[in-house]
């Protein structure tokens, strides 16, 4: 058993290293190939940092494989202003536009790679959230149109849907008075015209927004993840528990759970649930977190630390639809990521709970690999797009910071002084170091390692007490 676990862990580490290496090579290759085509000399192409494990010179460039595979770099001739001699092959001898293209094409190739991964995912089978209806509001729009619990939605206005997020996007994006919804029931396709109602809904930030509601729910009332450092776990709730009542509110789907917790006013809520066919009841004291909404107002959010159990279906399409849906999914990932960054900066969501570093990515890749090639390719595409977005942030030494410098140079007609460059670079590098430390701390906290380390140090210190 121990040997099998060891082999499984070694395999997971190997997959993680391969995935990370692919993403690094893709990004740096974008810089490399653009520089070569622009006539810029490339001295080194390194995968990883630290001691050199392997080296080979090809086409005037030294390709290196180093010990620590947590990054990489391309070293071009004259890419430091202080080293520039005026040679035509040097990076700083090129006009701003050409330099910008070399810098930009690292993230661009990451986006292209992410898109190709997503195309393959849709060809193999996109792992999207189930579109099966779990609850229908009596006398609501869907009920009046004849839809039933158990129906699986496959099209909205004659356009195929692939998963829960895409279904929501299609429903919210429809502006027609009536929406044509196609479902599968007993292996037969059924069409129904649904007239949505416009209702007001409170989001996670405490803001009211208008939504087009058709009176259905697609998320069951089963718990997926339970955070160990939150009230629900401490009260005894676990993955797989089916919540059936919160206080006096009967629960039929996840929306009922969300609303019951959000609208509760007492310090303690009573949660009744089913585990192993037995009903149990626990008392939970929700955690109150203060955050800012988009208007800058501070609102309180009640959290117990649970998320729904994900039920996935495989959505497989032909080449034409795969090409189209892959682009839609890439846009969705990009917009969602930028929104998350904005919410973290404004304090609307906790950065500690939102950022993921190498440790978190390792566990995500490990789980995706276990679930199959389609899941692994999807995660590869998401991480590649995220890497592009992160690198475009306007902070030196990231690509976005260098692009910002080039923009300033273009406007001024000359670059900033070397001293100013150096000061800004040092500040940016310091920010990146602090961000890296914060990300590792968040990763360790989520895995419970911080608490374990604290216990070890506590025991060590107790040895010195008299």
Residue-wise pLDDT for 399-438, tens only, equals: 999 999 899 888 888 888 888 888 888 888 888 888 777 7
> What is the band of 453 on the pLDDT scale with cuts at 50, 70, 90?
very low
The mean per-residue pLDDT over the stretch 201-205 comes to 53
How far apart are alpha carbons 71 and 28 in whole angstroms?
Answer: 10
How far apart are alpha carbons 450 and 445 in whole angstroms?
Answer: 5
Give 308's strand partners. Answer: 223
- The predicted pLDDT at position 455 comes to 45
> What is the band of 123 on the pLDDT scale with cuts at 50, 70, 90?
very high
> What is the band of 82 on the pLDDT scale with cuts at 50, 70, 90?
confident
Chain segment 247-306, per-residue pLDDT in tens: 999 998 888 898 899 888 888 999 999 999 999 999 999 988 776 655 566 667 888 989
CA distance to 205, 246, 303, 349, per residue, from 290 (Å): 10, 23, 11, 9
45 in Cβ contact with 32 (< 8 Å): yes
How far apart are alpha carbons 144 and 214 in whole angstroms?
Answer: 10
Report which secondary-structure segment, H or E, holds 350: none
The residues near 150 (Cβ < 8 Å, ≥ 6 apart) are 132, 133, 185
- The predicted pLDDT at position 279 comes to 94
Domain 135-217: CATH superfamily is PDZ domain (2.30.42.10)
> What is the band of 443 on the pLDDT scale with cuts at 50, 70, 90?
low
How far apart are alpha carbons 80 and 93 in whole angstroms?
Answer: 11
Chain segment 36-74, per-residue pLDDT in tens: 999 999 999 999 888 899 999 998 999 999 988 778 899
The residues near 122 (Cβ < 8 Å, ≥ 6 apart) are 162, 315, 316, 317, 321, 322, 325, 326
Residue 41 gets which letter from DSSP? -
* pLDDT surpasses 50 at 364: yes
**E strands of 37-142, at which residues?**
42-58, 61-76, 126-129, 135-136
Q: What is the dihedral sign for C-alpha 82, 83, 86, 90?
A: negative
The mean per-residue pLDDT over the stretch 365-374 comes to 83
HSE (side-chain half, CA atoms, 13 Å) at 152: 19
Lowest mean per-residue pLDDT among 7-16, 195-204, 249-258: 195-204
- The predicted pLDDT at position 461 comes to 39
Domain boundaries, the chain: 107-125+316-466, 135-217, 223-312
Q: Cα-flanking dihedrals φ and ψ of residue 363, to 5°?
A: -70, -35
> What is the band of 207 on the pLDDT scale with cuts at 50, 70, 90?
low
DSSP track, 136-151: E-TTSHHHHTT--TT-
What distance lies between CA 417 and its chain's CA centroid? Answer: 38
- The predicted pLDDT at position 243 comes to 95
- Two domains, one topology: 135-217 and 223-312: yes
Sheet (strand 278-284) strand order: 249-250, 242-246, 269-275, 278-284
The residues near 5 (Cβ < 8 Å, ≥ 6 apart) are none
Q: Which class in CATH covers the domain with range 223-312?
A: mainly beta
* pLDDT surpasses 60 at 168: yes
109 in Cβ contact with 30 (< 8 Å): yes
What distance lies between CA 298 and its chain's CA centroid? Answer: 25
Mean pLDDT of the chain: 84
* pLDDT surpasses 50 at 459: no
The residues near 105 (Cβ < 8 Å, ≥ 6 apart) are 30, 31, 33, 34
- The predicted pLDDT at position 185 comes to 95
Percent pLDDT > 90 in the chain is: 41
**Higher-pLDDT residue of 334, 441:** 334
Percent pLDDT > 70 in the chain is: 87
Question: Rg of the chain over CA atoms, in angstroms?
Answer: 26
96 in Cβ contact with 410 (< 8 Å): yes
* pLDDT surpasses 50 at 350: yes
């Amino acid at each position: 058993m121990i040997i099998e676990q060891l082999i499984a862990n070694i395999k997971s580490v190997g997959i993680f290293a391969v995935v990370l290496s692919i993403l690094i090579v893709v990004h740096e290759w974008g810089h490399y190939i653009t520089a070569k085509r622009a006539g810029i000399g490339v001295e080194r192409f390194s995968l990883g940092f630290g001691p050199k494990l392997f080296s080979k010179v090809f086409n005037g460039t030294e390709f290196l494989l180093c010990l620590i595979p947590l990054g990489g770099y391309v070293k071009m001739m004259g890419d430091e202003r202080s080293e520039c001699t005026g040679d035509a092959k040097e990076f700083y001898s090129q006009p701003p536009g050409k330099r910008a293209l070399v810098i930009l094409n690292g993230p661009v190739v990451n986006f292209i790679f992410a898109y190709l991964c997503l195309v393959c995912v849709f060809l193999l089978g996109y792992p999207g959230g189930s579109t099966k209806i779990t609850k229908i509001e009596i006398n609501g729009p869907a009920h009046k149109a004849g839809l039933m619990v158990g129906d699986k939605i496959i099209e909205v206005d004659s356009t195929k849907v692939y998963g829960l997020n895409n279904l929501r996007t299609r429903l919210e994006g429809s502006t027609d008075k009536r929406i044509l919804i196609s479902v599968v029931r007993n292996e037969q396709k059924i069409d129904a015209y649904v007239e949505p109602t416009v209702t007001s809904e409170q989001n996670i930030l405490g803001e009211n927004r208008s939504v087009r509601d058709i009176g259905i729910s697609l998320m069951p009332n089963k718990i997926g993840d339970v955070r160990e450092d939150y009230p629900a776990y401490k009260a005894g709730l676990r993955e797989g528990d089916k919540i059936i009542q919160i206080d006096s509110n009967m629960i039929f789907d996840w929306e009922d759970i969300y609303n019951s917790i959000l609208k509760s006013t007492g310090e303690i809520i009573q949660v009744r649930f089913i585990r192993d066919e037995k009903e149990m009841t626990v008392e939970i004291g929700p955690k109150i977190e203060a955050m800012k909404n988009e208007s800058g107002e501070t609102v309180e959010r009640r959290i117990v630390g649970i998320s729904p159990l994900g039920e996935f279906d495989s959505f497989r399409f032909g080449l034409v639809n795969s090409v189209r849906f892959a682009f839609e999914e890439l846009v969705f990932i990009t917009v969602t990521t930028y929104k998350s960054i904005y919410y973290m900066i404004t304090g609307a969501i906790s950065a500690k709970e939102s950022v993921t570093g190498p440790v978190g990515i390792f566990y995500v890749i490990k789980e995706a690999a276990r679930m199959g090639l389609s899941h692994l390719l999807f995660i590869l595409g998401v991480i590649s797009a995220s890497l592009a977005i992160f690198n475009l942030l306007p902070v030196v030494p990231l690509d976005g910071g260098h692009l910002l410098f080039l923009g300033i140079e273009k406007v001024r007609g000359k670059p900033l002084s070397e001293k100013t460059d150096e000061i800004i670079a040092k500040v940016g590098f310091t920010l990146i170091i602090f961000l890296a430390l914060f990300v590792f701390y968040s990763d360790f906290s989520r895995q419970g390692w911080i608490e374990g380390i604290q216990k070890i140090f506590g025991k060590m210190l107790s040895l010195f007490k008299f």
